[in-house]
């Protein structure tokens, strides 16, 4: 069984439709795939139809924008109810925050000599309800200013870049509770990747695991070195947390994140599914 529990479609900031993603997953030899778009469940229906055609088991998921002490932490939610009122309300607020910051980013880019209009960005966003920095990066590329998303992040859009603007995210403890209350299993995405590495210390992870309904840690992820994976695996075992591995595939939007480049063990997957209310 080849299991990849973290992928993005163009319903957020990936570049494939959910159906294209499932077709590529089959080509990559995957048996189980979670579609985990940022702050939205909107791609799941299309993904489910396509997954059924491809003979793939789709795990309904979502990657929620959370925050801890001012730093960004991503929380993967597996099997949460997309219609849960409290969770939906928070996700709406996060997506409004995504939209609301676009103007401020564009003002910074203009001051840096890279003027774009909001329409330029919205052309890249298309039908996605979840506007992200990658769409702004795509608009910069389409305008001929830069070569690709990577250059846009490296020079302007990263968390420490000159065009970065904070946006609303859900306090991490609340996010974990919201996901669990919606019947989902919560797994912290790439805990020691850039952004969350500094705030998710061992002590913090220990207290989160002991006080909140946290199911696991995404250990095998391209943002983690071999040494970090070894340490996180040990920590997860000590804390009684499940260890997942995933690609964080974004289509052509991110290199070195090919489908199936990291995978999750079958036994762990079964335990994860047992932690959520999926029928």
Q: Interaction with Zn ion in 10-29: which residues (CB under 5 A)? A: 13
* Residue 62 interacting with Fe ion (CB under 5 A): no
In the bound state with ligand AMP, the residue whose beta carbon lies nearer, of 13 and 220, is 13
Q: How far is the CB of 171 from ligand AMP (least distance, A)?
A: 16
In the bound state with Fe ion, the residue whose beta carbon lies nearer, of 24 and 74, is 74
Q: Which does 153 bind (CB under 5 to 8 A by kind): Fe ion, ligand AMP, Zn ion, none?
A: ligand AMP
| One of 24, 26, 74, 224 touching Fe ion (CB under 5 A) | 74
Q: How far is the CB of 137 from ligand AMP (least distance, A)?
A: 7
3-state SS of 183-210 is CCEEEECCCCCCCCCCCCCHHHHHHHHH
Residue in the structure block whose two tokens are 């003002």: 107
Residue ranges that bind ligand AMP, judged by CB under 6 A: 13, 38, 132-134, 149-150, 153, 250, 254
Kindly give the interhelix angle for 85-111 and 172-181, rounded to the nearest 10 degrees.
Answer: 140
Contact 249, 8 (CB under 8 A): yes
Residue 184: other Cβ atoms inside 10 A:
30
Give Cα separations from 248 to 5, 108, 132, 155, 174 (angstroms). 8, 29, 15, 22, 24
Q: Which residues bind Fe ion (CB under 5 A)?
A: 63, 74, 189, 248
Q: Which residues bind Zn ion (CB under 5 A)?
A: 13
């Amino acid at each position: 069984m080849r299991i990849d529990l973290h992928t993005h479609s163009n319903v957020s900031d990936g570049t494939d439709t959910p159906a294209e993603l499932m077709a590529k997953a089959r080509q990559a030899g995957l048996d189980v795939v979670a579609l985990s778009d940022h702050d939205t469940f909107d791609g799941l229906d299309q993904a489910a139809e396509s997954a059924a055609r491809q003979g793939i088991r789709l795990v309904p998921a979502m990657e929620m924008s959370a925050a801890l002490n001012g730093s960004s932490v991503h929380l993967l939610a597996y099997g949460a109810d997309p219609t849960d009122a409290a969770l939906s309300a928070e996700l709406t607020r996060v997506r409004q925050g995504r939209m609301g910051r676009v103007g401020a980013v564009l003002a910074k880019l203009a001051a840096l000599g890279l003027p774009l209009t909001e329409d330029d960005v919205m052309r890249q966003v298309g039908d996605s309800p979840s506007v992200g920095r990658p769409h702004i990066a795509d608009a910069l590329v389409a305008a001929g200013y830069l070569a690709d998303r990577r250059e846009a992040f490296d020079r302007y859009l990263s968390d420490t870049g000159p065009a970065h603007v904070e946006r609303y995210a859900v306090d991490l403890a609340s996010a974990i509770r919201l996901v669990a209350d919606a019947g989902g299993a919560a797994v912290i995405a790439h805990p020691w990747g850039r952004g969350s590495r500094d705030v998710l210390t061992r002590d913090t992870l220990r207290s989160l695991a002991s006080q909140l309904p946290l199911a696991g840690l995404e250990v095998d992820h391209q943002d983690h070195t071999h040494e970090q994976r070894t340490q996180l695996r040990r920590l997860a075992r000590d804390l009684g947390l499940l260890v997942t591995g995933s690609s964080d595939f974004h289509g052509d939007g991110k290199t070195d994140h090919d489908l199936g480049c990291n995978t999750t063990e079958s036994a762990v997957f079964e335990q994860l599914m047992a932690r959520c209310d999926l029928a």
